[in-house]
């Protein structure tokens, strides 16, 4: 007969090394200047942590939530962001949440001088705000698209408050 061994989450955390991240000067300037870029950076870290085991994924949720909270977003923002199934929806969701002043900051950064944590700069194109507003207005309670991101698979599609395009 085998003995059952119970290991608590806290015990597992004590045995693990935290993921250490370093940023170069361009990345730091981007994160310090723009909440939108800070969110992109938090996504990159969460994605790297999602490559690990379930403890890493739980840590990713906690670290992401703490990071989003420190940027001053509402309580529902981390759930909206982490449940985004692909980068396009992530970018649109973040764009809804950041507000007009931060949208302008993100557009005006010189991406030759600062790092862009997002896959592209489509948010700088004319008409992007209107496209995102239309998308958010028609957003169903559950997204019926393929989930491409591991952290989004882990989070799933829980119910959440409606996403609003912040002014």
pLDDT tens, position by position, 75-112: 889 999 999 999 999 999 999 999 999 999 999 999 98
The reported pLDDT for the residue numbered 21 is 54
pLDDT tens, position by position, 35-81: 999 999 999 999 988 888 888 888 889 999 999 999 999 888 999 99
Q: Which two tokens stand for residue 75?
A: 């309580």
Residue labelled with tokens 């001088």: 113
Lowest mean pLDDT among 79-88, 134-143, 145-154: 134-143
Nearest to 158 by CA among 47, 78, 65: 78
Rounded Cα distance, 45 and 68, in Å? 12
What is the per-residue DSSP string for 79-144?
HHHHT--SHHHHHHHHHHHH-HHHHHHHHHS-TTTS---SS--GGGSTTHHHHHHHHHHT--SS--
Break the chain into its structural domains and give their ranges: 24-155
Rounded Cα distance, 50 and 57, in Å? 5
Cα Dmax for the chain: 68
Neighbours of 149 (CB within 10 A): 20
């Amino acid at each position: 007969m085998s003995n059952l061994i119970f290991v608590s989450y806290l015990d597992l955390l004590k045995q693990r090394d935290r993921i250490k991240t370093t940023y170069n000067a361009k990345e730091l300037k981007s994160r310090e200047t723009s909440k939108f870029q800070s969110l992109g950076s938090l996504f990159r870290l969460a994605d790297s942590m999602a490559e690990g085991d379930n403890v890493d994924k739980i840590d990713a949720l906690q670290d992401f939530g703490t990071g989003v909270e420190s940027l001053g977003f509402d309580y529902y923002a981390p759930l909206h962001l982490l449940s985004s199934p692909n980068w396009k929806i992530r970018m649109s969701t973040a764009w809804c949440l950041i507000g007009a002043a931060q949208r302008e900051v993100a557009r005006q950064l010189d991406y030759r001088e600062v790092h862009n944590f997002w896959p592209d700069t489509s948010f700088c194109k004319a008409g992007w705000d209107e496209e995102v507003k239309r998308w958010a207005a028609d957003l169903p309670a559950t997204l019926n698209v393929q989930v491409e991101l591991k952290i989004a698979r882990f989070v799933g599609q829980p119910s959440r408050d409606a996403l609003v395009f912040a002014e």
